[in-house]
Amino acid sequence: MSCEITEVTVVPQTGLKHTATLIFMHGSGWNGELSKKDLEMVYGQQFSFPHIRVIYPTSPQRPYTPAQGVLQNVWFDRQAVDISASEDVSTIEPMAEELSKLVEKEVSLGIDIKRIVVGGFSMGSSMALQMGYCFRPDVGGIVALSSFLNYGTNVYKVLESRPEAEYPPLFMCHGESDEVVPSAWGENTFAQLQQRGVKGEFHTFPGLNHNLCQREVELLKEWLVNLLPDV
Low-confidence ranges of the chain (pLDDT < 70): 1-3, 6
105/18 Cα distance (integer angstroms): 14
Domain CATH number, residue 50: 3.40.50.1820
Q: Is residue 102 part of a domain?
A: yes
Domain tally, the chain: 1
Active site residue 178: yes
Cβ neighbours, 10 Å, residue 173: 27
Q: Is residue 21 part of a domain?
A: yes
Q: Is residue 124 part of a domain?
A: yes
Of the residues 48, 88, 203, 210, only one is catalytic, namely 210
Q: Is residue 116 part of a domain?
A: yes
What confidence score (pLDDT) does residue 163 get?
85
Active site residue 122: yes
* Domain membership of residue 127 as a residue range: 7-227
Of the residues 59, 122, 125, 147, only one is catalytic, namely 122
Q: Is residue 13 part of a domain?
A: yes
142/8 Cα distance (integer angstroms): 19
Closest-CA residue to 171 (of 24, 12, 5): 24
Q: Is residue 29 part of a domain?
A: yes
| Cβ within 8 Å of residue 207, ≥6 positions away | 175, 176, 177
What confidence score (pLDDT) does residue 2 get?
59
102 with 154: CB under 8 angstroms? Answer: no
Q: Is residue 2 part of a domain?
A: no
What confidence score (pLDDT) does residue 174 get?
98
Give the containing element (helix H, strand E) for 216: helix 214-227
Per-residue CA distances from 118 to 10, 69, 70, 77, 180 (Å): 14, 28, 27, 20, 22
What confidence score (pLDDT) does residue 7 get?
87
Q: Is residue 23 part of a domain?
A: yes
Of the residues 26, 35, 126, 178, only one is catalytic, namely 178
131 with 170: CB under 8 angstroms? Answer: no
- HEC states along 99-154? HHHHHHHHHHCCCCHHHEEEEEECHHHHHHHHHHHHHCCCCCEEEEECCCCCCCCH
- Which pTM value belongs to this model? 0.96
